[in-house]
Amino acid sequence: MSINTTGLTTAEAEQRAKEGKINTDQKRLTKTNDEIIRSHVFTYFNLINTVLFVLVLITGKPANGLFYMTVLFNTFIGVYQEIKARRVLDRLQLLVQSKLPVLRDGTWDELATDRIVLGDVVRLSSGNQVPADAVILNGYLEVNEAILTGESLSVQKNTGDTILAGTVITSGSAEAEIIHVGKDNYSASIMKDARRYKPSVSVLRQDIQKLLKVISVVIIPVGFILFVSQYRLPDLSWQDAVLKSISAVVGMIPEGLVVLTSVALVSSMIRLAGKHVLVKDMYSIESLARVDMICLDKTGTLTQGKMKVEHVVLFKDADMNRIRQIMGSYVRVFKEGNATDEALADYFEENTGYEASDILPFSSSRKYAAVSFGEEGSFYFGAYEFLFLKENPELKKVIRQYTMQGNRVLILAHSSNPVITGNIPTDLEALCLVILRDVLREKTREIIRYFVRQGITIKVMSGDDPRTVSAIATEAGIPGSDKYTDMSYHRLKDYSTTVMTKNIFGRVLPEQKKAMISALQNQGYTVAMVGDGVNDVQALKEADVSIAMAAGTQAARDSAEIVLLESDFSVMPGILNEGRRVINNISRASSMYLVKTIFSVLLSVYVILTSQDYPFLPVHLTLISAFGVGIPTFLLQMEPSFEHVNRKFLAKAFRDALPTAIVVFFSALLVDSLKLSFTLNQEREMTVLLILTVYAYLFTLYRVYYPPDRFRIFVISGMGLGVLSGIVLLSPVLKTSIYFLDLLIIVPGMLLVPVMIAAISGILDLLTKHYRIWKRKWSRK
């Protein structure tokens, strides 16, 4: 095949870009502004609230439509925060944008993959993800096509072969010409989501969707039945019946919960961005908060990934000068390699002593590389276990001495056969051992101690000798580092027993990492995978949360949901704490929102069955929602809360909301039954009930955000003063003859308030204590 030695000219590339023959990135990380606005504005509950608002206006009492201000505010906040987060993420994405050497005007320049045009010549090497369909002009590649075919084994590609967009280069290097771009790529035609990130599994999202689905089905029939019930009451006009019904429906909708959730998560993404952490999927923050198992690669994660050759151990009659000549030619052949190849190049001076007639690049699945120097025969360099199938006790003993010290040991062997077939020659003879060393990252021991204190189990999966990995893990302080195994002896598909009995795994193949993570998930663990190499890609895709180092391979960065932009492992505790804080605070806030939903349902059922009038108006619930839930939970969402996240989000939120909802429900019943004794007309009755309800909310806030600190006390006290001020200042009759709150503060009726407040405190305390006792018993079952 003729080789394009100059590539396209700049003018040709610009023209093809204008013609649309450009590799537009199909992997959009964020939504556009229009998509964000539509997702927040055109929702089912916004539609319901809009209809209710119009009905309020028809009644001639627009003050009761204040709840719509909450809807508008929530929508605005949601749009503003998500657009702000999008801008931050777009800027960060530029830092990890995939780039490749592209031949233009006869020179090689690094270009972003979305600037590649049809006909460009690109240079690909191990760790790259193929940006577009291409044909190899020269070179040799091994390609993992699992993203398209599901087959985990690498496929060899030579000059003239086609490689497909989205596949991963596991070994070799080559120059290739782009033959398809954008939507014309093969992967785009058969699987539109082939290169997108796997959505994070979110208990939070699933539970909220379940809740909203139930509420959306219930509110319309309940609202209609309630209107009929209220309309039949002789003391209520049709306008009052409409307002009472709207009040019940508005109360059932947790209008701020969805917005608070999205705002809290995108705010968390922005805060993590400030720590140089790119979060691609906001729900991965939740998954990270639930993590109880972390799987780590050794090189580049626990260690700095900067290998160094310590020394060379010669065998028999091997001559160091000849070894230097062989290895110098070897490093010349494999220039663009991994950290090991770089360490070899630093130690052995590159030379032209031998010319390669055939090569077999290193592969993480094969664990060795090979080069043929013609009449000199072929030389194999890699892991002893994969090159020498027949054990040599003496050689194995020497290797063990070095691996137990945390060194990586590779062996150079010779075969007289100059042909490299992909099978191990039977006449392999060991020439020397190359001893390499990597060092721990700074603060690794502190980070491991933190994870251990948090009850998180740590497992290390590496392609190195298990004894080397065990020694490094011991140095890092990982518990159970002495429980290691060599995965080259494990060829089973079921690793469920192995992953539970061992903590350190060496000689792990990429497909084994994936299977082991799946086995841990089947045991009920929420698994995070931290890696940086092409051999980690399958495991990163399989894990509940995938974290990659920016300094790692392009394929690892593209596969991960979270990227550490400075490749700083020490930020991990901060990421975990951020996830726990945001999810725990959302969980707390959710229980506050559900209080209104539960007591509104209970009161609706009660008034329908008893033909009573509904005790609240929409404006009352607006005041309750604002000062009892919306404002305080928004202010308190940043509060420290680093305890373990409860797995059953919705069930816990309902259980926490139930005591307060029951108190509000029975308070309404009690006030209704005592109104004659205390000469409470409708306005006084609603005044007493409103104050009692707000007090129940504030008392619950105090209990939910216990123990109190200055800021919490300030917020809760401020909400109490705010609602009392609202009742006092806004209750007088306006000039338009509209009762703004339909409330009159009259002293005789208020004699009931202190008695009820004391009763509520006692009841809430009692309910909370019994609930906690019941929860402990229930959890044991």
Nearest to 702 by CA among 764, 770, 771: 764
**CB neighbours (10 Å) of residue 11?**
9
Helix (H, G, I), strand (E, B) or coil at 208: helix
Nearest to 689 by CA among 709, 664, 724: 664
Nearest to 615 by CA among 660, 654, 658, 670: 670
Report in angstroms the alpha-carbon separations of 112 from 23, 257, 345, 392, 571.
10, 40, 28, 49, 28
Amino acid letter, residue 316? K
**CB neighbours (10 Å) of residue 130?**
27
Phi, psi of 780 (to 5 degrees): -70, -30
In contact, 170 and 364? CB cutoff 8 Å: yes
552 Cβ partners below 8 Å, 6+ apart? 127, 300, 531, 532, 533, 536, 567
Distance CA 353, CA 419 (A): 19
Of residues 297, 464, 656, 672, which has the active-site annotation?
297
Helix (H, G, I), strand (E, B) or coil at 715: helix
Q: Is 235 a catalytic residue?
A: no
Distance CA 726, CA 704 (A): 24
Report in angstroms the alpha-carbon separations of 529 from 61, 80, 138.
57, 32, 35
319 Cβ partners below 8 Å, 6+ apart? none
Distance CA 94, CA 518 (A): 32
In contact, 152 and 144? CB cutoff 8 Å: yes
Burial of residue 418, with CB atoms counted within 10 A of its CB: 0-12 exposed, 13-18 middle, 19 or more buried: middle
Report in angstroms the alpha-carbon separations of 52 from 32, 197, 212, 544, 621.
30, 39, 18, 41, 14
Phi, psi of 5 (to 5 degrees): -95, -10
Nearest to 259 by CA among 391, 387, 405, 71: 71
Distance CA 739, CA 750 (A): 19
Catalytic residues: 297
